[in-house]
């Protein structure tokens, strides 16, 4: 692999042991993937934040890094934590867990990383530009960056995205290269996608059946940012898909070659319904309604708000919505939140149903409009999940 003189100095330890360790990781990943060089990145999005998922091991990692007080070289931000920073007690999080979680957040902050704690950085002003090289690690954000915005990033792990943030470089392979971004499966959508959950169903079905393959999708009349994030999150969760193209709607669709297409498939009403049927694990008596995987936007919060105008939540129903804290800072949000809290709906920030321990330990029967959440939550044998559209959920839990 070709390295510049500056990169060689970083690798050899002239800029400190921590930078050398991180450069070695980036170079080794590049060598394994036959990268010819390193490339500078514009931003990094870093996973490995929730104490529920990283545990005590993360602190040994921090102890090594804190010796030299290293700082990130590019704008960088964090994935969700295991709790709402302000309302963790209301969620039912223990004091011990909260203390550990705050320590983790603080360690990342010391490195100069913005503690956004969201899986949707593009909804809070961190939108990548077309053609920019990134090192993002949250699976749905990776697909959104590649597909909806036309930026270029591989699906980084937590350590590799942090290494890229601290050095400013990543290895040039896979989705950083134009030839690796070409579709191999053509998907024609022959059913109406009437809700965000329908886009989620399409993503889940595709990822489950065509693992890792880049699709070229036709038959979609529109693709909003909310529709794209539901599609992205589900296909990433079920099939490690990193990029999709939608004819006439995504940035690279018009310049994408179809020469590598090896299979043409149809997504019909029966395929869509099969996803809802697969996650129909319980019909009544839900412990919790969980919305916001990926984090809910103001548009989604407004849909919930408008539905509750003349409705009330049924007794014994918990209704939780997860969003980014920066979204909560707007006056519009605060008005929505006050109204919904009077209706019994709780809005939490900084975390979600997938990375918080309280969801799987306390709630056993969950209703959600996210196929991604359905997949991860149902991995627990103690948790039953039902996947429905947001409108269906609202109608079933209100009166």
The proportion of the chain whose per-residue pLDDT surpasses 90, expressed as a percent, equals 91
- Tell me what the mean pLDDT of segment 305-312 comes to: 94
Which H or E run contains 385?
strand 384-387
Predicted pLDDT at 191: 98
**Distance of alpha carbon 371 from alpha carbon 377, whole angstroms:** 10
- Tell me what the mean pLDDT of segment 55-75 comes to: 91
**Distance of alpha carbon 213 from alpha carbon 219, whole angstroms:** 19
Predicted pLDDT at 243: 98
Sheet of 384-387: strand order equals 345-349, 318-323, 288-296, 365-368, 384-387
How many CA atoms does the CB half-sphere of 204 hold within 13 Å?
25
Predicted pLDDT at 67: 81
Q: Angle, nearest 10°, between helix axes 331-342 and 298-307?
A: 30
The answer to whether 169 and 38 are in contact (CB under 8 A) is: yes
- Tell me what the mean pLDDT of segment 89-107 comes to: 97
* The pLDDT of residue 307 is above 80: yes
| 282 Rama class: left (phi>0) / alpha (psi -120 to 50) / beta | beta
pLDDT 10s digits, 155-181? 999 999 999 999 999 999 999 999 999
* Strand 245-246 to 215-218 pairing: parallel
Predicted pLDDT at 381: 81
Residue entry with tokens 């005590």: 56
Class of domain 5-178: alpha beta
Predicted pLDDT at 112: 97
- Tell me what the mean pLDDT of segment 51-55 comes to: 95
pLDDT 10s digits, 342-378? 999 999 999 999 999 999 889 999 999 999 999 999 9
**Distance of alpha carbon 24 from alpha carbon 361, whole angstroms:** 39
Sheet of 245-246: strand order equals 245-246, 215-218, 185-189, 263-267
Radius of gyration for the alpha carbons in the chain, expressed in angstroms and rounded: 21
- Tell me what the mean pLDDT of segment 61-77 comes to: 91
- Tell me what the mean pLDDT of segment 288-313 comes to: 95
Q: Which sequence spans correspond to the domains of the chain?
A: 5-178, 182-277, 280-397
The answer to whether 294 and 372 are in contact (CB under 8 A) is: yes
- Tell me what the mean pLDDT of segment 251-260 comes to: 96
Closest CA to 133 of 121, 151, 145, 149: 151
- Tell me what the mean pLDDT of segment 260-286 comes to: 94
- Tell me what the mean pLDDT of segment 21-27 comes to: 97
The proportion of the chain whose per-residue pLDDT surpasses 70, expressed as a percent, equals 100
pTM for the structure as a whole: 0.96
pLDDT 10s digits, 205-238? 999 999 999 999 999 999 999 999 999 999 999 9
The answer to whether 367 and 398 are in contact (CB under 8 A) is: no
Predicted pLDDT at 382: 83
**Distance of alpha carbon 93 from alpha carbon 51, whole angstroms:** 12
pLDDT 10s digits, 108-128? 999 999 999 999 999 999 999
The mean pLDDT value of the chain amounts to 96
pLDDT 10s digits, 280-299? 988 778 899 999 999 999 99
The answer to whether 152 and 175 are in contact (CB under 8 A) is: yes
Predicted pLDDT at 360: 85
Q: Is 268 helix (H, G, I), strand (E, B) or coil?
A: coil
* Residue 173: Cβ within 10 Å count: 19
**Distance of alpha carbon 387 from alpha carbon 335, whole angstroms:** 28
Question: What CATH fold (topology level) applies to the domain 280-397?
Answer: Aconitase; domain 3 (3.30.499)
């Amino acid at each position: 692999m070709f390295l510049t003189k500056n990169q060689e100095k970083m690798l050899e330890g002239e800029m400190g042991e921590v930078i050398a360790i991180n450069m070695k990781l980036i170079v080794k990943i590049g060598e394994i993937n036959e990268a010819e060089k390193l490339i500078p990145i514009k931003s990094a999005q870093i996973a490995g934040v929730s104490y529920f998922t990283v545990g005590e091991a993360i602190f040994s990692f921090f102890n090594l890094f804190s010796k030299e007080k290293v700082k990130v070289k590019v704008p960088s931000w964090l994935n969700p934590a295991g709790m709402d920073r302000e309302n963790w007690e209301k969620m039912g999080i223990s004091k011990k867990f909260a203390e550990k979680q705050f320590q983790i957040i603080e360690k990342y902050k010391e490195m100069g990383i913005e503690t956004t704690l969201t899986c949707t950085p593009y909804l809070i002003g961190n939108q990548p530009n077309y053609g920019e090289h990134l090192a993002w690690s949250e699976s749905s954000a990776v697909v959104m960056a590649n597909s909806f915005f036309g930026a270029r990033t591989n699906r980084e792990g937590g350590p590799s995205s942090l290494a890229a943030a601290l050095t400013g470089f990543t290895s040039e392979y896979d989705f950083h290269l134009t030839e690796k971004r070409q579709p191999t499966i053509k998907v024609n959508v022959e059913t109406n996608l009437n809700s965000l959950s329908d886009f989620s169903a399409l993503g889940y079905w595709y990822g489950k059946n065509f693992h890792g393959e880049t699709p070229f999708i036709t038959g979609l009349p529109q693709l909003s940012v909310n529709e794209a994030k539901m599609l992205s999150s589900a296909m990433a969760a079920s099939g490690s898909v990193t990029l999709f193209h939608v004819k006439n709607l995504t940035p690279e669709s018009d310049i994408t070659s179809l020469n590598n297409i090896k299979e043409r498939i149809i997504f019909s009403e029966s395929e869509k319904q099969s996803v809802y049927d697969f996650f129909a694990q319980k019909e009544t008596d839900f412990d919790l309604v969980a919305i916001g995987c990926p984090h809910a936007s103001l548009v989604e919060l407004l849909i919930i708000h408008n539905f509750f105008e003349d409705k009330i939540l049924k007794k014994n129903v918990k209704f939780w919505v997860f969003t980014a804290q920066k979204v909560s800072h707007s006056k519009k949000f605060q008005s929505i939140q006050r109204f919904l809290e009077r209706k019994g709906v709780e809005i939490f920030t900084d975390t979600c149903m997938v990375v918080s321990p309280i969801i799987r330990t306390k709630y056993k029967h969950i209703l959600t409009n996210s196929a991604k959440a359905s997949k991860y939550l149902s991995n627990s044998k103690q948790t039953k999940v039902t996947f429905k559209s947001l409108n269906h959920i609202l109608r079933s839990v209100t009166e």
